Amino acid sequence: MEPLFSPDIHVFYEHTNIPLAVYYVEDGRFRAYLVSEGSCSMYESSREEMMQRLNSDDPFVNIVEKQEMTEVVRDFSDNDRPYNVVFHEYIGPDRKLKTIHGVGMHEYTRDGRRYSVIRYDEISDSSRRMLFKDEEKEISDRDKLYYEIDDAIARSFTTVFYVDIVDLTVHLVRYSKFVDMIRDDIDDDPRLNNVIETYANRFVYRDDAKGLKKLGDSEYVMQELRRTNPLYYTYRTIREGRMVYYRLKIIPFDNGRKLIYGFEYFDSQMREKIERESERETQMTLLAGLSCEFDMIWLVDAPIHHARLIRNNIADPANAAMLTQTEGNYETLLGTYIDKYVAAEDRERVYLLSNIDHLIRNTKDDEIYHINYYRINPEGARNYIQLSVAKVIDEMGVVRLVVGLRNIDSIIEEERNRSMLYSMAHMDNMTNVNNRRTFDEYMDANAALTVSDDLVFFSFDLNELKKANDSHGHEAGDELIIGAAECMKDTLGRYGRIYRIGGDEFAAIVTLEDDKRVNVIKHLRERFDNWKGRLYPKLSVSMGYVCASENPDMTIDEMRKEADRRMYAHKSEFYSTEGNDRRRNHQNR
């Protein structure tokens, strides 16, 4: 028989505190595939120890009622009835005797395979004594019954009463101030239907009162308990003008001779559930609105690794050839698709990114996770494909993934065109740095903004460009401009933006902390000094810079003017040192 689940299915429950296990039946006995951390904690064992025991030839080795357990499991395996059993078991290395309550239901995958989800809880010592006492022994001390009920469940409830099935009288164990307000009505007629009806009429929101009143009918309650145990009903009350959620829990007690009714404040849990459902509805609505953009949409039931196609927009029969299977194991369907259609160089990456464990970890509850890759279409051409994933978690914490696939060739082409248009408008073609238009836009946008202390404004101007043009031609001058830009990009590019604002004029606006500034500027000067051209032997650049930390009150425009002033001072010094004062030579001509 092929296994229903992969061995790593436990990752979806391993961090829950709910003692939970997932099983399937093989050769007439249970096989365990998943144990939560809650189960391990309750059994004081590691996951490996529990898996080894549960999958051994004698999984009931530590259970006192081995024969009875074998019969229960056989009955559970052969029928659809719920699993509901209480048993004693020796737990942990110290073999402490504990009483365990297990409840389970059968679930089915869409292809008809059956598996079972079983939840356990530990019963307290006092409740164990109560549950396993001699069935013929009648309770003579009512105070003891109060204690047993209180110890078993009442600590988490605002109001608790038990109902004697023989005469349907209600006996209060614990009650809130609201129930105390109707004590006279209860004392006048303590029968179950009167107590529930009085409570519902007085405190329960009218839309929920009818449902609660049904739980005053003992025959109805007993019938429902045979289908689900415990029995829950969530309802609303009005407290100080605000709607508040409560929940009623009903469980049989004293071998079915009594019923316990526990009322608990359930507002925070219910509102969290409503919020989760709202988020899920928002996600599903969003995906439904976007689904027309996708070639295919799949729903993946993460705990059992089952995927099924829920929308297909592929009209072309050639492209539809990939839909040879519309439901099955997620990994099998995914592997077939990747091997057949994804470009060879992209397969390993897509395998990794689309793995269920990876998707669970990386898909946030309020975002859509994208994976872009190449696909080889049926004609052999390469397409850009996007796989989009949304995570939906139901009220029980079960994870489902909505996976959409679409061709994004047109989107990629549009992005390329947009990038090309931006570059044409904002980038200098010769040097591939930002142009004057981009510089002016930055200066205008930041004119009124406060300058950060680590901002540095550089102003540059090439020396002897005219001499290079006259002696070696304009190609040599272009080489100097491009070389200067490369030096700036290599040294300053990682810290900010470089701009060509004139023929041989550049500016740089960067962010440099004090401890980096000296070394970066030193490295930039060395790059200029060591540059060697093909058409012209050397590069000389005049540079001026100003740090915002010099004067916190400076604006960006004031920093530019000061950087220009220092750059021109540097240029004047250069020509004076070289014996070639351009202004004096200009006046002598």
Query: Which has the higher per-residue pLDDT, 429 or 531?
Result: 531
> Do the beta carbons of residue 328 and residue 111 sit within 8 Å?
yes
Give residue 584's pLDDT. 44
Burial class (CB in 10 A: 0-12, 13-18, 19+), 444: exposed
Choice among 160-169, 480-489, 560-569 with the minimum mean pLDDT: 160-169
pLDDT of residue 171 exceeding 70: yes
CA atoms within 13 A on the CB side of 483: 24
CA dist 41 and 27 (Å) reads 29
CA distance linking residue 244 with residue 208, whole number of Å:
12
CATH number of 279-412: 3.40.1080.10, 3.30.450.20, 3.40.710.10, 3.40.190.10? Answer: 3.30.450.20
In the predicted model, what is the mean pLDDT of residues 520-544?
93
**Residues 264 and 249: beta-carbon distance below 8 Å:** yes
Nearby residues of 520 by Cβ (< 8 Å), 6 or more positions away: 491, 492, 495, 512
Whether 275 shows a pLDDT value over 80: the answer reads no
Say whether pLDDT at 154 is over 50: no
Which is more confident, 490 or 139?
A: 490
Q: How confident is the model over 62-79, as a mean pLDDT? A: 78
Please list the residues that pair with 170 across neighbouring strands: 163
**Of 152, 194, 189, residue with least CA distance to 174:** 152
Q: Give 560's pLDDT tier (boundaries 50, 70, 90).
A: very high
Q: In this structure, which topology does domain 7-123 adopt according to CATH?
A: Beta-Lactamase (3.30.450)
pLDDT of 180 over the 90 cut:
no
- In the predicted structure, residue 137 carries a pLDDT above the cut 50: no
Report pLDDT for 370.
87
pLDDT of residue 506: 96
Q: What mean pLDDT is predicted for residues 197-220?
A: 91
Residues 390-409: tens digit of each pLDDT: 887 765 667 888 888 887 77
Question: What is the per-residue pLDDT across 18-61, written as a single tens digit (0 to 9) for each?
Answer: 566 666 666 656 677 655 677 778 888 887 888 788 878 788 88
Q: What angle do CA 194, 140, 132 make, to 5 degrees?
A: 95
Instruction: Specify the 3-state DSSP secondary structure of 97.
Output: strand
Q: Is the pLDDT of residue 458 over 60?
A: yes
Would you tell me which CATH number, out of the four given (3.40.50, 3.90.320, 3.30.450, 2.60.120), belongs to the domain 131-265? 3.30.450
What pLDDT was estimated at residue 187?
Answer: 87
Are 510 and 496 a contacting pair, CB within 8 Å?
Answer: yes
User: Is the pLDDT at 174 greater than 80, yes or no?
Assistant: no
When mean pLDDT is compared over 48-62, 155-169, 474-488, the highest value belongs to 474-488
**CA-CA distances (angstroms) from residue 472 to 328, 386, 467, 483, 579?**
73, 53, 8, 16, 21
Of residues 110 and 535, the one with the higher pLDDT is: 535
E-only strand ranges, 114-241: 114-123, 159-164, 169-174, 231-239
- How far apart are the C-alpha atoms of 561 and 89, rounded to whole Å? 85
- 30-34, 90-94, 131-135, 246-250: the lowest-pLDDT one: 131-135
DSSP letter for each residue of 261-310: EEEEE-HHHHHHHHHHHHHHHHHHHHHHHHGGG-SEEEEEEGGGTEEEEE
Give me the pLDDT at residue 279, please.
64
Sign of the four-CA dihedral 440, 445, 449, 455: negative
More confident residue, 23 or 428: 428
What is residue 520's three-state secondary structure? helix
For 338-395, give the DSSP string. HHHHB-HHHHHHHHHHHSHHHHHHH--TTS-EEEEEEEE-TTS-EEEEEEEEEEEE-T
Mean pLDDT of the chain: 79
**Residue predicted with more confidence, 242 or 307:** 307
Q: Using one digit for the tens of pLDDT, what is the confidence trace for 500-529?
A: 999 999 999 999 988 889 999 999 999 999
pLDDT tier, 136 (very low <50, low <70, confident <90, very high otherwise): very low
Name, of 306-310, 486-490, 514-518, the range with top average pLDDT: 486-490
Which residue ranges make up each domain of the chain? Answer: 7-123, 131-265, 279-412, 427-588
In terms of pLDDT, which residue wins out, 249 or 256? 249
Higher local confidence (pLDDT), 403 or 282: 403
Residue 481, CA distances (Å) to 467, 509, 533, 575, 580 in order: 13, 19, 11, 19, 21
* 379-385 average pLDDT score: 77
Q: Does domain 427-588 have CATH number 3.30.870.10?
A: no
Distance in angstroms (rounded) separating the CA atoms of residues 119 and 102: 6
Quote the tokens at residue 194. Answer: 């009167």
Backbone angles phi, psi at 440, to 5 degrees: -65, -40
Ranges assigned E (strand) in 109-241: 114-123, 159-164, 169-174, 231-239
Q: 391 versus 366: which is more confidently predicted?
A: 391
Output the CA torsion 121→125→130→135 (10° steps).
90
Sheet with 541-547, strands from edge to edge, namely: 496-500, 505-511, 455-462, 541-547
Higher pLDDT, 10 or 267: 267
Give the pLDDT of residue 114.
72
Instruction: Give the pLDDT band (50/70/90) at residue 459.
Output: very high
* Candidate from 24-33, 161-170, 216-225, 340-349 with smallest mean pLDDT: 24-33
Distance between CA 94 and CA 180 in Å, rounded?
46
Q: Sorting pLDDT into bands at 50, 70 and 90, what band is 258?
A: confident
CA distances, 163 to each of 157, 178, 294, 502 (Å)? 16, 19, 57, 93
Angle of CA points 118, 124, 127, to nearest 5° = 100
Whether 131-265 and 7-123 are alike in CATH topology: the answer is yes
Averaged pLDDT for residues 369-380: 78
Q: What is residue 504's predicted lDDT score, i.e. its pLDDT?
A: 92
Q: For residue 207, what pLDDT is reported?
A: 87
How crowded is residue 405: how many other Cβ atoms within 10 Å of its Cβ? 20
What's the CA gap between 1 and 174, in Å, rounded? 53
Q: What percent of the chain has pLDDT over 70?
A: 77
* CA–CA gap between residue 489 and residue 428 (Å, rounded): 13
Please name which of 231, 2, 232, 254 lies closest in space to residue 137, comparing C-alpha atoms. Answer: 254
pTM of the model: 0.35
3-class DSSP state of 163: strand
309-336: per-residue pLDDT in tens? Answer: 877 776 554 444 455 677 888 888 888 8
**Amino acid at residue number 344:** A
Least confident segment among 152-161, 190-199, 452-461, 513-522: 152-161
Our CA angle for 128, 22, 4, nearest 5°, is 155
Give just the sign of the alpha carbon dihedral 13, 15, 20, 26: positive
Stretch 249-272: mean pLDDT, rounded?
Answer: 84
Q: What are phi and psi of 139, to 5 degrees?
A: -80, 120
